[in-house]
Amino acid sequence: MQSSLQIKDLHLYRQDELLLSLDEQITGGEILTVMGPSGSGKSSLLNWLTGTLPNNFAATGEVWLNDKNVSHLPTHLRHIGVLYQDALLFSHLSVAGNIAFAMPKGNKVGNKKQRREKIAQALAQVGLAGMGDRHPDNLSGGQQARVALLRTLLSEPKAILLDEPFSKLDTQLRVDTRQLVFEQIRTHKLPAIMVTHDHSDAEAAKGKVIHLDL
C-alpha cells in the first residue's frame, strides 16, 4: 500500500480569524511546500498536524495517515517526524545516543547490538562513519543537521514535516543537506510537508507549492 498523508477540509483559526483552509493529499516520496510570510499560519499548520496546536488556535478538519484518521491521537502515537531549524540534539548523549533515543524499543535478544549496527550503518550512509561516540557539540552545523535527520528517520515515522530545516546553513551546505534530506524522503517513500521562506528549497523539492497570505 502506498503511504499517504491527507489533510481533509482543514480550517485553521487564530482566535476567530480564519488563517488558512487546506485540502491536500501527499503520497509517499512527495514533498508539499508551504510558503508565506510570518504569521500566515505555516508553523500552526505543522502544530496542528502533530497535535500540538496552542490554545489560542482552533481547527476543524482531519489528519489521515495511510488511510487512518489520526486527528484525535496524542502526538507520540501519530508517527509524524519533524525536522526543525535547529538540530535540537541532546548534549548529554553521544551522537549514537541521540539517534537511539528516538528508535522504537524492541524486546528481542541481541536487540542492542542490532540497534548499534543499524546506527553505524546509517551514519556511514550520510558521511558520518565512526562518529557514533562523538559529542554532538563537537560537530559542525551540517553534521548536526545530518544527525537530526537520522534521528527522525530511525524513529520510523510514517510522514515527515520540515520546519525551515535548512535556514541556518550556509549556501553550499544548504544545497548538500537539502539534497540528502530529499533523497532520504524519496528512498523511504515518506509523504512530506516543508515550510520555508526560500524559493530554492521549493524548486529543489519538485512538488506542489502552496502560498499562504496574511
Residue where the block lists cell 524519496: 186
Please report, as a single letter, which amino acid is at residue 142: G
Q: Specify the pLDDT at position 1.
A: 66
pLDDT of residue 82: 95
Q: What pLDDT does 40 receive?
A: 87
Amino acid 190: pLDDT: 97
pLDDT, tens digit only, all 214 positions of the chain: 679 999 999 999 998 899 999 999 999 999 999 998 888 899 999 999 999 999 999 999 999 999 999 999 999 999 999 999 999 999 999 999 999 998 987 655 457 888 899 999 999 999 999 999 999 999 999 999 999 999 999 999 999 999 998 988 888 889 999 999 999 999 999 999 999 989 999 999 999 999 998 7
> What local confidence, expressed as pLDDT, does residue 39 receive?
84
Angle of helix 141-153 versus helix 95-102 axis, rounded to 10: 30
pLDDT at 42: 92
Burial of residue 76 (number of CB atoms within 10 Å: 0-12, 13-18, 19+): exposed
Report d(CA 47, CA 54) in Å as an integer. Answer: 8
Sign of the Cα torsion 203, 211, 49, 83 reads: positive
Domain residue ranges in the chain:
4-79+157-211
Residue 128: HSE in the Cβ half-sphere, 13 Å Cα cutoff: 30
How is residue 155 annotated by DSSP?
T
Angle at 58 between CA 62 and CA 207, to 5 degrees: 50
Q: Are the C-beta atoms of 60 and 10 separated by less than 8 Å? A: yes
pTM: 0.92
Domain 4-79+157-211 has CATH 3.40.50.300: yes
pLDDT for 110: 55
Which segments within 120-171 are labelled E, that is strand?
Answer: 159-163
